[in-house]
């Protein structure tokens, strides 16, 4: 990151655009920040007196401090000293560029210093030290050291694109750094005439899409392992149904006699010839049927170490799906029934979904639990 000081300077200037002259930063000894704030203020107000004063005081000190750090680093034994030196040169160049783009700042510092003539040389030196450190890390043979090598080699590419065999080294480092996981999804026994392909496809899709952004974990199907001729895998992820039930049917039939009082059943003619409503109690015999078709299952996820075959984790996930149908009939006066009861009587028995669809439905909640567990386990890698 230290080599991108011009960008960093621009970022600081943008963040500090709240009309600050840089006086507070200067008083705290943050001279580089003071330069950024003063230059930014002068860009919007070229005649701002206080900002000019702060820039005139802070720029020479910020420049001198950076040059002193460069001198000290060059004679030090710091492991990445050339990267740091390059960073300070870029910091100086960043101030140079920002002052040149601000007429108000340029009137205060008419000849800002730059070290563009040093950038190419120290890009090479920084690439060299990072490349050497990456090669050394790769010889240690661990995933963590290989990950360090990946970051170092990416720095090399930024310092000097195409440096030596950096692309090949980066491919080697990525292979060593990546946890290679063989995914074994055990199919449902064919005797059940059911397929778990829906769940298997969703799991595979998740592993391929979600973990694309997790660069140091990759999941392989058995076919991909054979195709890519992997020399080894680090872990085995095995997914298998321990138990499941599809289409367990329960039928509950209930018959009851219903009555309702004070129901208008007709009218009565009085002596004076007028008519009034006649009330009575009405009855009906209601039979309702409630059929449930229950499907459920238990899925196991086991992760084994690829070398020792030791069990790293074992988790179980269950899911269920209940399909139901209601229907009924009655004998008697329908006015004895509530609206809901009457509605049931207009329904007919509906056949349940086919077993394969029931199987798919109870696996949906299992899928959510499974991917959450997989994400959690591999977040550490």
Give the dihedral sign, CA 83/88/92/98. Answer: positive
Catalogue all structural domains in the chain, each as residue range(s) with its CATH number. Answer: 5-114 (no CATH), 178-381 (3.30.160)
| Range 21-42 average pLDDT | 94
CA distance readout (Å), 134 to 172, 180, 262: 11, 21, 93
Rounded CA-CA distance 96/76 in Å is 27
Residues contacting residue 306 through CB under 8 Å, at least 6 positions apart: 180, 182, 232, 233, 234, 235, 236
CB atoms inside a 10 Å sphere around CB 23:
17
Q: What is the pTM of this model?
A: 0.75
What pLDDT is stored for residue 189 in this prediction? 78
What pLDDT is stored for residue 276 in this prediction? 87
pLDDT over 70 at 99, yes or no: yes
CA distance readout (Å), 291 to 240, 257, 339: 30, 21, 21
CB atoms inside a 10 Å sphere around CB 282:
19
Read out DSSP for 116-134? HHHHHHHHHHHHHHHHHHH
| Range 92-102 average pLDDT | 96
What pLDDT is stored for residue 208 in this prediction? 87
User: pLDDT tens for residues 217-241?
Assistant: 999 999 999 999 999 999 999 999 9
What pLDDT is stored for residue 188 in this prediction? 85
Rounded CA-CA distance 114/97 in Å is 9
User: pLDDT tens for residues 63-91?
Assistant: 999 999 999 999 999 999 999 999 999 99
Closest CA to 4 of 111, 169, 123, 135: 123
Range of weakest confidence among 163-172, 213-222, 224-233, 316-325: 213-222
Residue 235 CB-density burial (10 A; 0-12 exposed, 13-18 middle, 19+ buried): buried
| Range 48-61 average pLDDT | 96
- And the tokens for 217? 């974990």
Residue spans of beta strands (DSSP E) within the chain: 179-185, 217-220, 235-269, 275-305, 311-332
Q: How confident is the model at residue 191 (pLDDT cuts 50, 70, 90)?
A: low
What pLDDT is stored for residue 273 in this prediction? 82
Q: How confident is the model at residue 285 (pLDDT cuts 50, 70, 90)?
A: very high
Tokens 């991917």 sit on residue: 371
User: pLDDT tens for residues 342-355?
Assistant: 999 999 999 999 99
Q: How confident is the model at residue 19 (pLDDT cuts 50, 70, 90)?
A: low
Range of weakest confidence among 4-18, 121-135, 161-175, 330-344: 4-18
| Mean per-residue pLDDT over the chain, rounded | 91
């Amino acid at each position: 990151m230290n080599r991108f000081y011009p960008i960093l300077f621009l970022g600081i200037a943008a963040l500090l655009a709240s009309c600050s002259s840089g006086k507070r930063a200067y008083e705290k000894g943050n001279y580089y920040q003071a330069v950024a704030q003063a230059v930014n203020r002068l860009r919007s107000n070229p005649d701002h007196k206080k900002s000019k004063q702060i820039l005139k005081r802070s720029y020479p000190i910020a420049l001198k401090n950076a040059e002193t750090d460069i001198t000290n680093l060059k004679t030090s034994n710091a492991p990445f000293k050339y990267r740091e030196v390059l960073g300070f040169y870029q910091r100086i160049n960043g101030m140079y560029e920002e002052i040149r783009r601000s007429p108000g700042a340029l009137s205060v510092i008419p000849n800002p210093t730059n070290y563009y003539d040093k950038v190419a040389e120290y890009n090479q030196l920084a690439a060299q030290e990072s490349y050497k450190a990456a090669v050394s890390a790769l010889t240690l043979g661990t995933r963590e050291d290989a990950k360090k090598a990946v970051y170092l080699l990416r720095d090399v590419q930024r310092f000097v694109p195409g440096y030596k065999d950096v692309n090949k080294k980066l491919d080697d480092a990525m292979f060593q750094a990546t946890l290679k996981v063989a995914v074994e999804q055990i199919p449902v026994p064919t005797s059940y005439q059911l397929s778990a392909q829906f769940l298997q496809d969703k799991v595979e899709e998740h592993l391929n899409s979600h973990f694309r952004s997790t660069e140091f974990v990759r999941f392989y199907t058995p076919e991909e392992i054979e195709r890519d001729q992997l020399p080894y895998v680090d872990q085995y992820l095995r997914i298998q149904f321990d138990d499941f039930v599809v289409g367990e049917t329960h039928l509950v039939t209930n018959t009851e006699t219903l009555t309702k009082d004070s129901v208008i059943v007709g009218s009565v003619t009085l002596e004076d010839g007028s008519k009034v409503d006649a009330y009575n109690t009405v009855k009906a015999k209601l039979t309702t049927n409630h059929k449930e078709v229950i499907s459920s299952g238990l899925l196991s996820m086991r992760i084994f170490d690829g070398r020792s075959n030791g069990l790293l984790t074992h988790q179980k996930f269950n899911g269920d799906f209940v399909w139901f149908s209601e229907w009924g009939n009655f004998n008697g006066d329908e006015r004895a029934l509530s609206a809901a009861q009457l509605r049931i009587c207009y329904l007919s028995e509906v056949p349940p979904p086919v077993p394969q669809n029931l199987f798919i439905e109870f696996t949906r909640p299992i899928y959510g639990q499974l991917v959450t567990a997989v994400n959690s386990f591999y977040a550490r890698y």
